Amino acid sequence: MPSWLITGANRGIGLATVQNLLKKDGNFVIATTRKDSAELNALASKHKNLKVLSLDINSQSSVDTAVAAATPLLPNGLDYLVNNAGKNPQPLTKFEDLDLELFGEEMIFNTVAPLRVSRAFLPLVKKSEAKKIIFISSVLASSQITFMMVNQFNAYSVAKAALNMLAHKWGASLKYEGVSTAAIHPGWTQTDLGDPLKEWMGKYAPQVPHLTTEEAGNVVIKVSEALTVEKTGQFWHFDGTNLPCRGVGLGIVKNLLEKDSSNFVIATARNLDVPALRELTSQFPKDRLQLVHLDVSEPADIEKAVETVTALLPRGLDYLINNAAIHPQPLVKFEDLDYDLFAEEILFNTVIPVRVTRLFLPLIKKSKEKKILFISSAMGSFELTYPMVNQCNAYSTGKAALNMVALKWAASLKNEGVSVASVHPGKDILDCFVKYVRELPPSGWVDTEIGEPIKEWMTKNAPDVPQIKPEESGAAVVKVAEELSLVNTGTFFNYTGKSLPR
């Protein structure tokens, strides 16, 4: 008797999945919900093979209690874990207008919380015969599709892009234990979450079916049952096909100053009293270089920096380069990630760049060039990061989300003449990677504290790839920034200016 556990099962796709599973006598179903559900309780009174458990996916104690309650019900383990619970509090809000507190909550709820649940239930999943973990995602997290849907579900798209990377990266390691993972787009569905898309879909995609929850629930079951270890980590459309997903800062400053005497550079840092910055200020006058204190994690600090920069730039800011990032858990498996650190990294590498960019946006719109760059990584590419098992898992997840920020925001800012791109600042790994790993050629790495943890993996699997100096990487970022235009806005660039798969 296959066993299933569905989160967020009190309504919508979750409830429909439960109802469809109960139509087959052979299924044992555990439905979880944060609030008491009369509909689930009524179903449980009719079906002995349904158990209803309380579960708040954002609470570790609630998750632990649910696992303890589920364990005696599952002597043969849990075959299918379906992470369905999600939320979308700002469906039609522009990036410029997002409530950043709500954005942060949505990122954690839709990315960190499913990891919390999956890790807690993983021993039961490994004990089962099927061993499958499902993450309910959305077509809005497909980089090739969502770009057209300007200002539709911006925050949700970013969160689901991160969730897709979690499923993808974790699948790469769990497959060696016989566990399969998948992200599933169950179709545009008649739910409270999907309803805000009605106007856009009716105008631009009237041919797309508006599925009932029963139809979407059947999609979840069908794709889940067809999933195999060979197909693990993929992003599935409701029709069963695959969906497409596809210190540098100092180096950038140095290159800009040395390349062109007409460049005026504002370098920001949390700590300005470091030898490298002091050396630069001794070499370049204030009409070429200004240092501005900025702790990007402090909103008040960003606002103060914007005031300072505004006074320095009467004609606006041509290029904003979002380079600040953190990477506290570089070689940690998803099973072992510290949730608080994971949440902190997701917020720092995704929400904070949005906060910074929004506050500087009026200055950017005022300028001639109007360009915004987000420093990303090839590890944020679905195609390129998969072979790098357990390398920078949390970082990859955050950068996949950041790439989605760049893509979705570019789609709307294009109409205002603003170009946006995400950039991987390392060199290509070409023939050597084909030789040592697989046929997908990821891009290389930079000699920084963030890049250092992958040295052992690179030495073993791609020994022909040189470690790039920050100055060289900085020059690459400058070149890409200067060549960015409204024609190629929203692109994820590599070191050479060629596009990377997302």
Interval 46-99: pLDDT, tens:
999 999 999 999 999 999 999 999 999 999 999 999 999 999 999 999 999 999
- Same structural domain, 297 and 211: no
241 within some domain? no
Cα distances from 50 to residues 41, 66, 110, 160, in angstroms, run: 9, 15, 26, 29
Cα distances from 111 to residues 91, 216, 231, 325, 358, in angstroms, run: 17, 21, 22, 18, 23
Residue 380 near residue 165, CB atoms below 8 Å: yes
Strands (E), 243-396: 265-269, 289-293, 319-322, 371-375
User: Residue 391 and residue 394: Cα distance in Å, rounded?
Assistant: 9
End-of-domain residue from the set 197, 231, 265:
231
501 within some domain? no
User: Residue 443 and residue 424: Cα distance in Å, rounded?
Assistant: 8
> In 3D, which of 132, 117, 134 has the Cα closest to residue 335?
117
Query: At 46, is the secondary structure helix, strand, or coil?
Result: helix
Copy the structure tokens of residue 84. Answer: 């369905």
- What is the separation, in whole angstroms, between the first and last Cα of the chain? 39
End-of-domain residue from the set 205, 231, 257:
231
- Same structural domain, 17 and 126: yes
CA atoms 48, 50, 54, 59: torsion sign: positive
- Same structural domain, 267 and 176: no
Q: Based on the structure, what is the number of domains in the chain? A: 2
- The pLDDT of residue 442 is 37
> In 3D, which of 433, 462, 386 has the Cα closest to residue 172?
386
Query: At 235, is the secondary structure helix, strand, or coil?
Result: strand
Identify the H or E element spanning 395: helix 393-413
* Residue found under tokens 């309650």: 69
Residues paired with residue 5 on neighbouring β-strands, in sequence order: 30, 81
> In 3D, which of 403, 397, 405 has the Cα closest to residue 114?
397
- Same structural domain, 15 and 143: yes
User: Residue 429 and residue 427: Cα distance in Å, rounded?
Assistant: 7
Intervals of the chain under pLDDT 70? 144, 243-248, 426-455, 457-458, 462-471, 473-474, 494-496, 500-502
- The pLDDT of residue 432 is 28
460 within some domain? no
User: Residue 170 and residue 164: Cα distance in Å, rounded?
Assistant: 10
End-of-domain residue from the set 172, 204, 231:
231
CATH of the domain at 223: 3.40.50.720
Residue at 105: amino acid letter: E
Q: What range does the domain containing 13 cover?
A: 3-231
Copy the structure tokens of residue 324. Answer: 């600040």
- Same structural domain, 262 and 206: no
- Same structural domain, 224 and 253: no
Copy the structure tokens of residue 313. Answer: 């730039």
- The pLDDT of residue 454 is 63
- Same structural domain, 312 and 285: yes
User: Residue 50 and residue 19: Cα distance in Å, rounded?
Assistant: 10
Residues paired with residue 419 on neighbouring β-strands, in sequence order: 371
Burial class of residue 86 (count of CB atoms within 10 Å of its CB; 0-12, 13-18, 19+):
buried
Query: At 225, is the secondary structure helix, strand, or coil?
Result: helix
